[in-house]
Amino acid sequence: MNTINETNFKFPDQKSVYKGKVREVYNINDKLLVMIASDRLSAFDVVLPRQIPFKGQILNQIATKMMNDTSDIVPNWLLANPDENVAVGHLCEPFKVEMVIRGYMSGHSAREYKLGKRVLCGVEMIEGLQENDKFPSPIITPSTKAANGDHDEDITREAILANQVVSEEDYIVLEDYTRKLFQRGTEIAAKRGLILVDTKYEFGKTNEGKIVLIDEIHTPDSSRYFYADGYQERQNNGEPQKQLSKEFVRQWLIENEFQGKDGQQIPEMSDEKIIEISNRYIELYEQITGEAFVKASTEDVLNRIEKNVMDFLS
C-alpha cells in the first residue's frame, strides 16, 4: 500500500518549504500556505521509520472538520482543502509556544505526578489524584515549540511573559481561545460518546496582525480521547481507560524500551502492527466525526496531490 513519506513539489510562486515531523508546509508567494499531511508517525518527538496508511488523510480531514465546527468562536487560518491530504490557508507567523490544555491527569501530567511533582508549568495539581482522574477544572500547561528536532519543553506562563516569547496582550487572547476551543471540543466529543482528555493548539498572526488558530485541531496526534462509557467504573477499579489517541503507540514504545532518549533504539514495527495502528486511526475518525471513513486512492498518491494543488492554485 502506497504511503506518503515525503514530498518534493515545486509549485508556482513557491518561496520555501518547511518539513515538520508529520506535515510539510509550502509557502506560496508569502501569502498562502499549502500544508500536506504525510503518513509519517511521530512519538516522543521522534519520527518513526515506517508510515501509517491513510494517517495523513485522517488527520487532515478531522482537523478540517473541527476547524469548520469551531470557526464561530475562534478564527482560523483555513481557506480550502483541494485534496484529502491537503489544507490551504493564510500565511501566518506562528507563536513560539504550543497551548496545551488538560482536563484529566493523563499522559505527561500523570507521568510527572507519579514522580512526585505537584506543579506542572507553574500550575498546581491537587493531592490525592490517581491517573486519568478529572482535574477540578482544565489546566493550561504550555510548551515551547521544538527547533531542529529537539524535544518540546514545558514552560510557565510567567517565563513566557518574562522572556517576551509572547506579549501579555497576545497571551491573554491565546488563553481565552484555548479554553473556548477545549470547551467546544469537549462538547463535540461528548455527543460521540467520547471524553476529550487533553489537547494542544497552535496559533499564529496573519499579515494583518489577526490571531488565528493554525495547524491541526482535535486529531489523534494532538489530542487524547477516552470512551465515556465505562470511564468511571474503570477509574473505580483502577483499570486503564479505553482510549482513542496516539497514547497506545507511546505505550507500545515504552513497553519496548523506547521513549526517545539518547541511546535507545526504535523497536521494529511489524506489518500487523502498522495495520493495527491504521485501523485505530480510522476508528477514531469515525467515532469523533460520526461519518464513515472513505479511503482516498493511493495508486499514484503524490501525482494526485500535486495535480489537485496545482489546479487549485491556478
Query: Does one domain contain both 153 and 284?
Result: no
Partners of 245 in beta bridges: 224
- Helix, strand, coil % in the chain, rounded to nearest 5: 30, 25, 40
Phi then psi for 234, rounded to 5 degrees?
Answer: -65, -40
Query: Does one domain contain both 106 and 81?
Result: no
Identify the DSSP state of 76: B
CATH at 45: 3.30.200.20
Q: Is 26 domain-assigned?
A: yes
User: What burial class does residue 233 get, using C-beta atoms within 10 Å of its C-beta: 0-12 exposed, 13-18 middle, 19+ buried?
Assistant: exposed
Query: Does one domain contain both 127 and 229?
Result: yes
Query: Does 121 or 150 have the greater pLDDT score?
Result: 121
pLDDT surpassing 80 at residue 183:
yes
**Boundary residue ending a domain (245, 264, 281):** 245
Query: Does one domain contain both 179 and 58?
Result: no
Classify 49 as helix, strand or coil: coil
Share of the chain above pLDDT 90, in %: 85
pLDDT, residue 170, reads: 98
Overall number of domains in the chain: 2
pLDDT, residue 285, reads: 92
Is the Cβ–Cβ distance between 89 and 182 less than 8 Å? no
Share of the chain above pLDDT 70, in %: 97
Is the Cβ–Cβ distance between 45 and 143 less than 8 Å? no
CATH at 193: 3.30.470.20
DSSP character string of 130-191: -TTPEEEEEEE--EEPP-TTPPPEE--HHHHHHTTSS-HHHHHHHHHHHHHHHHHHHHHHHH
Query: Does one domain contain both 118 and 227?
Result: yes
Amino acid (1-letter code) at residue 64: T
Q: What is the separation, in whole angstroms, between the first and last Cα of the chain?
A: 30
> If you count them, how many residues does the chain have?
314
Q: How confident is the model at residue 122 (pLDDT cuts 50, 70, 90)?
A: very high
**Boundary residue ending a domain (204, 225, 245):** 245
Q: Is 170 domain-assigned?
A: yes
Query: Does one domain contain both 26 and 45?
Result: yes
Is the Cβ–Cβ distance between 218 and 63 less than 8 Å? yes
Q: Is 234 domain-assigned?
A: yes
Q: Is 119 domain-assigned?
A: yes
pLDDT surpassing 90 at residue 87:
yes
- Residue found by looking up cell 489577526 in the block: 210
**C-alpha Rg value of the chain to the nearest Å:** 19
pLDDT, residue 184, reads: 98
β-pair type (119-120, 123-124): antiparallel
Query: Does one domain contain both 165 and 226?
Result: yes
Phi then psi for 141, rounded to 5 degrees?
Answer: -125, 80
Query: Does one domain contain both 31 and 127?
Result: no
pLDDT, residue 154, reads: 95
Query: Does one domain contain both 66 and 159?
Result: no
- Residue found by looking up cell 513539489 in the block: 9
Which tens digits make up the pLDDT trace of 132-179? 999 999 999 999 965 554 567 999 999 999 999 999 999 999 999 999
Phi then psi for 124, rounded to 5 degrees?
Answer: -80, 140
**Boundary residue ending a domain (245, 264, 299):** 245
pLDDT, residue 146, reads: 57
Query: Does one domain contain both 179 and 191?
Result: yes
Q: Is 9 domain-assigned?
A: no
Q: Is 296 domain-assigned?
A: yes
pLDDT, residue 18, reads: 93
Query: Does one domain contain both 161 and 220?
Result: yes
Which tens digits make up the pLDDT trace of 281-294? 898 899 989 999 99
Q: Is 279 domain-assigned?
A: yes
Q: List the domain range (segments joined by +) for residue 48.
A: 14-93+273-313
- 53 Cβ partners below 8 Å, 6+ apart? 1, 3, 39, 274, 275, 278, 298
Q: Please tell me the distance from the alpha carbon of residue 291 to that of residue 293, in angstroms, as a whole number.
A: 6
Query: Does one domain contain both 227 and 144?
Result: yes
Q: Is 299 domain-assigned?
A: yes
Which tens digits make up the pLDDT trace of 38-83? 999 998 889 999 999 999 999 999 999 999 999 999 999 999 999 9
pLDDT, residue 97, reads: 96
